[in-house]
Structure 1
Amino acid sequence: MKKKIEKRLCYLYSGENASIICFLIVFYFFNLTYPQFQLSILSSFIVSFFLLLFILGQGSVYWFIKWRRLKQMGTADIPNKLLLYLKITKKVNLFILMFIPVLFVIDYQVRSLDVSLIGLLISIFVYLFAVLEYINYFHVQLSYDNKSDLLWLLRTKKLKRACLSKEFERINLK
């Protein structure tokens, strides 16, 4: 059972790292191929994109530490110090998520003649993706990619609490 959990945790942290790398590569080549969408001048896109990468990075660190502790110590409990750090990043993430709509208004109002509508739509998509990742990590699990998760979802007909949410509760950090 321990090996199975180790494998799952390794899959989770390496998947988040791979996502970060893939998103950076896709952004680079997309921006080169379609400069008319002007993503690099849209503050709403830049902040949303880097927030998405920041949240994925937090997830990667979380899963990596769980994997390493399970492998080395036989327990996947996260140190309280890391949980405190993640609790702070949760608040930072939320602040940035709440600020980004202001950037959309600025991009639309101030740069309305210079901005591509498709660029704004891509920015909105990336922003919504960041919102979903935030929810997935800090509130409710939205990703159900293995058999046991899917069976649980079908049996209970409700979403699971996010792992970090449970960890915060464990040390009274709601």
Structure 2
Amino acid sequence: MQKKVKKKLLSLFIGELSATVIFALVWIIYLKLFEWAEPYLTSFSSLYAFVLLEFILLQGSYYWFLKWKQAQRKDFSHLPYHPLRIFALFKRINLSLIVIGIIVIIYQLIVFPLEFYWFVFLYFFAIIEYINYYHIRLSYQNIDEIKNLIRQKELRSSKLAKELKSLQ
């Protein structure tokens, strides 16, 4: 059982980190290969949403790394106080950046309506990731988890959200 948990935590860590790196590489490749993509990828709004998304994905990767390191030590409890305080700070920063994003949406719509939909896609992707880490678990990775979700008929709090409640 512990081996399975360690493997899953390592997979979550590597998956989140890989997604972060791959998204950045694809972004750069599109800039280099496709001239039509430049206005979409280099506008302030798109860069803002992309950096926000990457920032949140890195937090998820860091969280799963810490949980994996804990599992390596056979410690399956909540994260210690200091890392949880860091995630509480990240949560506040994320929320501030998301609120600023609303202003960016207005700016984007007025100044660069052509790139608006790309920005909105990235921005909402970042918001979904924020919700997934800090509030409600939105990602389910296998059929058993999906069946369990259907049986419970409600979304569960994310693992990090449960741990952050211990700070209060």
What's the TM-score, normalizing by structure 1?
Answer: 0.89
SS at match of 2:73: helix
Tell me what 2:110 maps to: 109
Q: Which runs of structure 1 show a deviation greater than 6 angstroms over 4 or more consecutive aligned residues?
A: none
User: Structure 1 residues 160-169 or 140-149, which shifts more?
Assistant: 140-149
In the alignment, which residue of structure 1 is the partner of 2:5? 5
User: Structure 1 residue 169: deviation in Å?
Assistant: 1.4
Cα drift, residue 160 of structure 1? 1.1
Alignment map for 1:18-167 (pairs within 5 Å) = 18-37=18-37, 38-110=39-111, 112=112, 117=114, 119-167=115-163
C-alpha distance in 2, partners of 1:56/1:130? 8
Equivalent residues of 2:12, 2:64 under 8 A apart: yes
Q: TM-score with structure 2 length normalisation?
A: 0.92
Give, in angstroms, the shift of residue 149 of structure 1: 1.7
2:56 and 2:94 in contact (8 A); partners too? yes
The SS at the match of 1:140 is coil
Give structure 1 stretches of 5+ with no counterpart.
none
> Which residues of structure 2 form unaligned runs of 5+?
none
CA distance in 2, matches of 1:32, 1:108: 26
Alpha-carbon RMSD: 1.6
8 Å CA contact 1:16–1:59 kept in 2: the answer is yes
Deviation of 1:107 after TM superposition, in Å, equals 3.1
Contact 2:27 2:41 in 1 (8 A): no
Q: Deviations over 1:60-119 (max 9, x none)?
A: 111111111111243353111011110111011011011112123223434x4xx6x1x3
What letter is aligned with 2:81?
N
